[in-house]
Amino acid sequence: MSELTDLVLEEAQERMEKAIAHARTEFSGIRSGRAAPGLVERLTVEAYGVDVRLVEVASVSVPEARQLLISPHDPANLDAIERAIRSSDLGLSPSSDGRALRLNFPPLTEERRRDLVRVVKHMAEEGRVAIRNIRREARKELESLEKDSGMSADELKRAEDQLDKLTHKSEAEVDVALQAKEDELLEV
């Protein structure tokens, strides 16, 4: 295969890996029965007059399985962090001791677990769609290479087969991440 074909396949692989990483990041934002720093790290906090991510103004630790401890680097940001958590979609009320915030995670009901599984499955489907879109774009590039650079039909077929293998492998990785998150959500 030509260098151009290899380049198209490498770019597709990189983009698919980013799509997988994005799906995993989205999964980490879904609250299971356990406390996980990923749940609050994506929150934005208004500190010093600008919006910043929570991890830039505080450290997050897990002292117990169902509790997060958020310690601001500057105690003046404690109220802003508390407001950000209360206005988020987490549905949690932080308790403050004046220096840090504690978030206690109540156990999830069976119905809520099923709802969250549906949400995670939807996120996984979005990840698979993103991967398929990357495949479609790469396939178009390969077809234009065939027309422009005189690539043979056999070379095109081999490149498309490699692209399909890469796509199936990437979709399988999303499915593995989905299964792990689903198991975590349904664990009592």
CATH number at residue 156: 1.10.132.20
> Looking at residue 89, which CATH number applies to its domain?
3.30.1360.40
Domain's final residue, options 74, 104, 134: 104
Domain boundary among 83, 104, 125: 104
**Looking at the whole model, is its pTM more than 0.85?**
no
- Please determine, for residue 2, whether its predicted confidence score (pLDDT) is greater than 80: no
With beta carbons less than 8 A apart as the criterion, state whether 142 and 153 touch.
no
Residue 17 scores a pLDDT above 60: yes
The encoded tokens of residue 75 equal 């105690």
Residue 143 scores a pLDDT above 80: yes
Q: Is 49 a residue whose pLDDT tops 90?
A: no
Q: What percentage of the chain has pLDDT greater than the value 90?
A: 33
Say if residue 70 is in the same domain as residue 10.
Answer: no
Over residues 12-16, mean pLDDT? 94
* Whether residues 126 and 75 fall in one domain: no
Between 129 and 156, residue with greater pLDDT: 129
3-state SS assignment for residue 93 = coil
pLDDT at site 140: 93
Whether 172 and 116 share a structural domain: yes
Residue 31 pLDDT exceeds 80: no
Q: Are residues 83 and 126 in the same domain?
A: no
85 occurs within a structural domain: yes
Average pLDDT over residues 41-56: 86
Residue 148: inside a domain: yes
**Predicted confidence (pLDDT) per residue in 103-135, tens digit:** 887 777 888 788 888 889 999 999 999 999 999
Task: Evaluate whether residue 83 is within a structural domain.
Answer: yes
Question: 87 or 139, which is more confident?
Answer: 139
Q: Is the pLDDT of residue 1 over 60?
A: no
Its domain, for residue 10, covers 3-28+109-186
Question: Is 99 in the same domain as 113?
Answer: no
Percent of the chain clearing pLDDT 70 (strictly above): 97
* Helix pair 153-186, 110-149: axis angle to 10 deg: 170
Q: Within a domain: residue 33? A: no
Residues 23 and 116 in one domain: yes
Mean pLDDT, the chain, rounded, equals 87
Residue 161's CB is within 10 A of a number of other CB atoms, namely 10
- The one-character DSSP state at 108 is P
77 and 22 in a single domain? The answer is no
Q: Count how many domains the chain has.
A: 2
Does 10 have pLDDT greater than 90?
yes
Domain presence at residue 68: yes
